[in-house]
A and B are shown apart, each in its own frame.
Chain A
Amino acid sequence: MHLRTLLIVAAACVCVGAGALAQTDTGTPAQPDASTSAPAKPSKKKKKSGTKKSSKKSSRKKKSSSPAAATQPVSLEPPVPDDGEPPQLTHQIVATGVRGKPLTIAAHAIDANGVFGPILSVRKKGLGAGDYVPIKMTPSKIVPGDYSVDVPAALTNVDALEYYIEAWDIAGNGPSRAGSAEQPIAVSLEEDKKVAAAPALPTTVTIKPKGAPPAITHAALTQALKGKPVEINARLVGDTGVQGAVVMFRHAGEKEYKALPMGNIGGDDYTATIPAAMTTSDIEYYVEAFDQYGNGPARSGAPNVPYALRVMDPSPAPVAAAAPPPEAARVHKQALDEDQASQTIIGLGIDGGAPGGGGATLLVRPLWWLRLNAGLAYNAIGLGYRGGITLAPGDWAVTPTLNLDAGHYLSGDMTKFVTVSDPTERALLSKTTYTFATAQLGLEFGSQRRFSFYLRGGITYVFSTLSGADITAIAAAHNGDPNNTFTVGDAKVSAIAPCASLGFNIFVY
């Protein structure tokens, strides 16, 4: 009867453990709870397992909090193939602290299989190897890979501490260490005022107030045009503020990164622009930021794993985008689509208006705020050509514009619209050519990257020259005295008049 009860309890434990594994994110492996007892270390050789003969009470305990229980699923086949490598562990050494105050120790650990630990082992300086107190470091909820732990004030009421950190991956590879049991890192604990008076050692001393670095959301860019500025945007969210947000970038192949401060553009959005002069070759970059207490850095990308920004010639050479990290594939694809859309620089415009007539023009946008146009003009009197520029100081749903155009009508026949019987006057009006220039303010509706509709109004300057010979012929026809001879030179006709037009632009490439 007792044996049957034990089997049922054991089966229940296995089911609950399997359920916990099914809910565990493989990218962020389950961590055992912090415990004052020595945590279980995953090992390929040494695997702890719960005893089948344990009591019902002890089985429940393992299910809920025991590190040994949490590591049981590790013995199953890991979801990610074992890379055989221990985690990458980086740690900023803490050399001093304040006696009687909690001591914050942080580390950064990453591994493709997921990180187990890290475990901070701390002891009073001078004690034996068996006196280390293991404390599991807590993963950051905001920045993946960041861990920290506060050494309780009860342990810091001594002159000095020694510690080291170990981390394994879920497959049991490791440990990676910062310090070791034999060569621990020493922390000098001083009175509060002594620390205040001590010279700052920013490179080695890290005493951070409570807080966490900001979380970074960034859609990585993969392509840019040579000689064009690159705008890098990120959303930085932190409970304790954001400080020192920068884009660190370098040309591919270079060692050193250059820092480009990011500016807040409202809310949690930050931006920085890599100058056009720097986009001469492929660029690598990452984004990092701290909170206002100096916690961090939080990073998107990293110095050793930067985002690759391929810099292409403006000529239309399709280049395959660099493969984004698997976890950001969807975001990368979206960013790529947006990039391609924002880089449309060639389009077609069709418009009509008075008194300029209509036309079809080829549009080229060398700068995001500048468009050039050139094309044909037609105003029912005749055909001509024209060109101009449009300045659009924004890229909004409704954007104000300033448009300057100039053109020339090559030929025209005004007699279509004016009834003239005098053959000399008909001869003059049938050869109507003129040059024009317009300045218009307008509003564009829609996306300037793709399709926009616009209304414009302004003034136009029209200039034409009438043939002196034709005017002389008209004067001669009206001359009543054969003894009089008229000679008339070319006449200049000019006008400044209001004008209005409407049309649309489509950018296709």
Chain B
Amino acid sequence: MRNLKTIALLLLPLFGCFAQLEDQTVTVSHNLCGGATNCMPAALPLGLIQVSGSNTFTVNFGDQPLLKPSSDLGPATLNTSLILGGAGVQLQNPASGDFTQVQTISLLIAPTSGVDCSSAGSNCTLVADYDKTRDGTANQSIVLKGHSVDLIQYISTTTHSVQLQLQATGTGPNNAWNADVSMDMALKARANFP
């Protein structure tokens, strides 16, 4: 009994010990046209954007040990989160017009590739969205409000990637256009002892 108390006292300093890595500015940017210029038709009804297939893209994070929800590191357990704070759609060429006719845009995570998030029962997860009524009229860029979703749990353990889709309503710019979709994330990996 005395030995247990002694051991407990000796281990007391370990409580509250931790190791942590934190990065508040992890940004992934995706070009809708894949590098081509203005692949989107002028005044495109955005409900049809998925027809082009340009609304779907994959982000590969690579095989990083940190990018797992939980991993054992000896006596400690490493817990990682990758929170999506927000997203944006930036018109590449101002001559294309603007996003004033855009009504809504949603950024979703598809459970698997090939799933159409616009169909019922697709089981997609909304991670960020824009609503013209709620957020005001957009111009050259659209800011999507994040829902603080932890992307870690959606990163495939085999491909180390996430399937993302854009769903939109309204009308696109008056001229052919292209845009970059960006996601702002915060990474935090923390190992607590014991």
| Contact A491–B17 (Cβ < 8 Å) | no
Using A475-B62, A481-B58, A483-B34 as known contacts, say yes or no to A496 and B18 having CB atoms under 8 A apart.
yes
Which residues of B have CB within 8 Å of A493?
19-22
Which of B24-32, B84-92, B141-149 forms part of the interface with chain A?
Answer: B24-32
Q: Which residues of B contact A482 (CB under 8 A)?
A: 35
Q: Are B23 and A496 within 8 A (Cβ)?
A: no
User: Of the candidates B13, B16, B21, B34, which one forms a contact with A492 in the assembled complex, judged by CB atoms under 8 Å apart?
Assistant: B21
- Which listed residue (A468, A478, A484, A495) contacts B30, Cβ 8 A? A484
B8 at the interface (CB under 8 A from A): no
> A483-B30, A484-B30, A498-B14 are contacts. A489–B23 as well, Cβ < 8 Å?
yes
Between A459, A474, A478, A482, the greatest number of chain B beta carbons within 10 A of the residue's beta carbon is seen for A478
A478, A483, A489: the one within 8 Å of B63 (CB): A478
Q: Which of B13, B23, B27, B31 contacts A490 (CB 8 A)?
A: B23
Additional A-B contacts beyond A479-B62, A488-B23, A491-B21 (17; CB < 8 A): A459-B13, A468-B23, A471-B23, A475-B61, A475-B62, A478-B64, A480-B58, A481-B60, A483-B31, A483-B35, A484-B29, A485-B28, A488-B26, A488-B27, A489-B23, A494-B22, A496-B17
Residues of B within 8 A of A459 (CB): 13, 17
Q: Does B161 contact A (CB under 8 A)?
A: yes
Known contacts A479-B62, A483-B34; A488/B20 CB under 8 A: no
Q: How many A-B residue pairs have CB under 8 A?
A: 90
Q: Does A296 contact B (CB under 8 A)?
A: no
Q: Which residues of B contact A488 (CB under 8 A)?
A: 23, 25-27
B10's closest neighbor in chain A, by CB? A457
The verdict on A486 contacting chain B, using a C-beta distance below 8 Å, is yes
Considering only residues 295-329 of chain A, those with a C-beta below 8 Å from chain B are none
Question: What chain B residues lie within 8 Å of A491 (beta carbons)?
Answer: 21-23, 187
**Contact of B63 with A486 in the complex, beta carbons under 8 Å:** no
Q: Size band of the B side of the interface? A: 20 to 34
Q: Which residues of A contact B154 (CB under 8 A)?
A: none
Contacts of A471 in B (CB 8 A): 23
For B59, what are the chain A residues with a Cβ–Cβ distance below 8 Å? 481, 484
The verdict on A478 contacting B13 (CB below 8 Å), with A487-B27, A489-B26 known, is no
What A residues does B25 contact at CB under 8 A?
468, 487-489
Give chain B residues whose Cβ lies under 8 Å from the Cβ of A508.
none
A12 CB–B CB distance under 8 Å: no
- Shortest beta-carbon distance from B165 to chain A in Å: 15
- Rounded to whole Å, the gap between the CB of A324 and the closest CB of chain B is 52
Residues of B within 8 A of A496 (CB): 16-18
Chain B 47-71 interface 0/1 with A at a Cβ cutoff of 8 Å (1 = within): 0000000000111111110000000
In the assembled complex, the CB of A423 is this many whole angstroms from the nearest CB of chain B, namely: 14
Known contacts A475-B62, A491-B23; is-contact A498 B17 (Cβ 8 Å): yes
Query: In the complex, how many angstroms separate the beta carbon of B7 from the nearest chain A beta carbon?
Result: 14
Q: Which residue on chain A has the smallest CB distance to residue B11?
A: A498
How long is the Cα–Cα vector from A336 to B21 in the complex, in angstroms? 58
Q: Which residues of chain B from 98 to 136 have a CB within 8 Å of any chain A CB?
A: none
Which residues from chain B sit less than 8 Å from chain A, CB to CB?
Answer: 13-14, 16-31, 34-35, 57-64, 160-161, 187, 193
Contacts of A38 in B (CB 8 A): none
Chain B neighbourhood of A478, CB < 8 A: 60-64, 160
Bound together, the chains give a CA A493 to CA B19 distance in angstroms of 7
Residue of A nearest to B33 (CB): A483
Bound together, the chains give a CA A477 to CA B160 distance in angstroms of 14
Would you call the interface of chain A mostly helix, strand, loop, or mixed? strand
Q: Say which residue of A480, A481, A484, A492 sits within 8 Å of B23 (CB atoms).
A: A492
Interface residues of A in 319-358 (CB under 8 A from B): none
B161 near A480 with CB under 8 A, answer: yes
Q: How far is the CB of A460 from chain B (nearest CB, A)?
A: 9
With both beta carbons as reference points, the residue of chain A lying nearest to B26 in the complex is identified as A488
Tell me the minimal C-beta distance from A269 to chain B in angstroms.
37
| Docked CA distance A493–B20 (Å) | 6
Indicate whether A458 reaches chain B with its CB closer than 8 angstroms.
yes
In order of increasing CB-CB distance, the 8 nearest A-B pairs are A478-B62, A489-B25, A480-B60, A495-B19, A491-B23, A487-B27, A485-B29, A492-B22
Q: Does A420 count as interface, using CB distance less than 8 angstroms?
A: no
**In the complex, how many angstroms separate the beta carbon of B88 from the nearest chain A beta carbon?**
13
Specify the chain B residue showing the minimal Cβ separation from A441.
B13
By the criterion CB–CB under 8 Å, are A481 and B57 in contact? yes
Contact B29 A487 (CB under 8 A): yes
Residue ID in chain B nearest A478 by CB atoms: B62
A495 touches B31 (CB 8 A): no
A458-B13, A480-B161 known; A494-B26 Cβ under 8 A: no
- The reply on A370 being an interface residue by CB < 8 A is no
Q: Is A7's beta carbon under 8 Å from chain B?
A: no
Q: How far is the CB of B184 from chain A (nearest CB, A)?
A: 10
Bitwise, A4-25 to B at CB < 8 A (1) or not (0) is 0000000000000000000000
User: What's the nearest-Cβ distance from chain B to residue A333, in Å?
Assistant: 48
Question: What is the distance, in angstroms, from A301's C-beta to the closest C-beta of chain B?
Answer: 52
Let me know if A497 is at the binding interface, CB within 8 A: yes
Contact A498/B21 with A477-B62, A478-B63, A480-B60 known, Cβ cut-off 8 Å: no
Within 8 A of B (CB), among A68-99: none
Report the separation of the CA atoms of residues A481 and B24 in the bound assembly, to the nearest whole angstrom: 23
B163 CB, nearest partner CB in chain A, Å:
12
Bound CA–CA A485/B24 (angstroms) = 17
Query: Roughly how many angstroms separate A494 CA and B160 CA in the complex, as a whole number?
Result: 26
CB distance from A280 to the nearest CB of B (A): 46
A486 adjacent to B28 (CB under 8 Å): yes
A479–B29 Cα gap in the complex (Å)? 12
B91 CB, min distance to chain A CBs, angstroms: 17
A307 to B23, CA, bound (A): 69
- Tell whether, in the assembled complex, residue B28 and residue A484 are in contact, meaning their CB atoms are under 8 Å apart: yes
Q: A496 CA to B193 CA in the complex, in Å?
A: 10
| Residues of chain A with a CB closer than 8 A to B34's CB | 483
Q: Which residues of B contact A458 (CB under 8 A)?
A: 13
Please measure, in the bound complex, the distance between the C-alpha atom of A477 and the C-alpha atom of B58, giving whole angstroms.
16
20 of the cross-chain contacts (CB-CB < 8 Å) are A475-B61, A480-B60, A480-B161, A481-B58, A481-B59, A483-B31, A483-B34, A483-B57, A484-B28, A484-B57, A484-B58, A486-B26, A487-B28, A488-B25, A494-B19, A494-B20, A495-B17, A496-B18, A497-B19, A497-B193
